[in-house]
Structure 1
């Protein structure tokens, strides 16, 4: 197998590692490309291409994360990871860890860890790397990596309860939710929302904060029902799909361009949180991006006319 073929075979794994460390599709893709450039120009081929390339992409991602943290501290409004519609890497033996670590909630918890803790947690807890390979990847001793792993696991375990384990039940709930949403059924929506449900958005100051900071089942249900009818009237489309391994949707304008994405947090048979990403800088990998300001203005006019 050539070096290029070897790299292509491992590319899904490398992207998945980088995305979980960085929370950014574009930055993860750049880290993978840089990994290839280094591999291509390296001397003798390593004994284990997987271990070598995973270490390289991890080190690159740690460096990128350290500089990205400064930008995120200056970010306008709430910061969410870039939405990922499909994880390219699959491992049946670690499917639960991979799915759990991909959710918006888990990625936001990872933001609380130091770059080293985050990298160690991702390699060890999510992808199941042995401590010798983890230590090599982050440039620390095995003992230090064990301590980093313990601290990271403690922070992650304390941060949130686990989501519904039953995927079918979660998808059924999401199906009912989107049916009620597209029908503008306030009562139906309220029944599916947790009492303290929230609707929150990431616009980065570059798009309208559509539905920002709405809390409580009744308020969220009314906000959603008010939004959907005029949006559909102007040709908007709500496309249910998986977002970061959780139920979600892509909103498109009449020309099929992406307005925003939604992801739903489900716990105890109810929807706890709806996170919407509107920042156009985070949506380009999903498809051509709409002018969200224009869509919201048109939706608002349609609402006033129909009201």
Structure 2
């Protein structure tokens, strides 16, 4: 097997490591490409290509994350990871860990960790690397990596919900949610939402978004049940899709361009969190991106016209 074949065989793993460390599809792809350039430029052949490339992509990702964290502190509004439709790396023996670790909720918990803690947690807990390989990847001793892992696990467990829904339950609840959304059924929406459900959007100041999180089943159901029908009137459509391993949907304008990605956290038989990624900078990898501002203006105009029509009739 030549270098190119070796690298391409490991590319899914390298991307999956980088994405979990960075929370960005574009930055993860760049980290993988930089890893290839370093591998291609090296003259020595490593004893384990997998260990070598995993170490390189981890170190690159840690460096990128350190600079990215400064940008995230200055980010306008809530910051969410870039939505991922499918994880390229699959390992049946670790399917549960892989699926859990790529969810929006888990990636946001990982944001609490230092770059080194995050890398150690991803390599050890998610991909089951040995401590010798983890230590080589992050440039620390094995003892130091064990301490980093203890701290990382503690942070993750503190924020992790206690009850996870199985895949079938999640999909059934998501189907009921999207059916009610399509029909503007406020009562139907209320039934699938947790009492303290939160709905929040990441527009980054570059797309229309909620001024703040909407909290509570009544408020969220009313907002979705009254606003979304107007959005659909201007030919916006949605297609249910898995977003980061969880139920969700892609919303598109009349030309089929992506407007935003919606992800649902389903726990204990109810929808606990609704996250919308609206920032166009985070959607380009999903296809051509639409103009959410234009759609927003069109919706407002349609509502004004309807209001004027009702006033004239009365």
Deviation at 1:304, TM superposition (A): 3.6
Deviation at 1:162, TM superposition (A): 4.7
Within 5 Å, which residues of 2 pair with 1:24-35? 24-35=24-35
Within 5 Å, which residues of 2 pair with 1:132-211? 132-162=132-162, 164-210=164-210
**Alignment RMSD, CA only?**
1.1
2:66 paired with 1:66: yes
Q: Which runs of 5+ in 2 are unaligned?
A: 308-314
Residue equivalent to 2:118: 118
TM-score normalised to structure 1 length: 0.98
More divergent stretch after superposition (202-211 vs 254-263): 202-211
Give the distance between the partners of 2:47 and 2:186, measured in 1 at CA.
60
TM-score normalised to structure 2 length: 0.96
Give the distance between the partners of 1:147 and 1:188, measured in 2 at CA.
48
Give the distance between the partners of 1:209 and 1:182, measured in 2 at CA.
20
More divergent stretch after superposition (290-299 vs 130-139): 290-299
Deviation at 1:234, TM superposition (A): 1.0
Count of aligned positions: 307
CA deviation vs aligned residue, 1:126-178 (integer Å, no higher than 9, x gap): 00101000000000000100110111011101112155341011101001110
SS at match of 1:200: strand
Residue equivalent to 1:56: 56
Within 5 Å, which residues of 2 pair with 1:1-307? 1-162=1-162, 164-210=164-210, 212-306=212-306
Asked if 2 retains the 8 angstrom alpha-carbon contact of 1:164 and 1:170, the reply is: no
Deviation at 1:296, TM superposition (A): 1.1
CA deviation vs aligned residue, 1:179-212 (integer Å, no higher than 9, x gap): 0100000000001000011110011111111474
Asked if 2 retains the 8 angstrom alpha-carbon contact of 1:199 and 1:211, the reply is: no
More divergent stretch after superposition (211-220 vs 276-285): 211-220
SS at match of 1:285: helix
Structure 1 ranges of 4+ moved more than 6 A: none
Q: 1:251 to 1:227 in 2, by over 3 A?
A: same
Q: Which runs of 5+ in 1 are unaligned?
A: none
Asked if 2 retains the 8 angstrom alpha-carbon contact of 1:200 and 1:211, the reply is: no
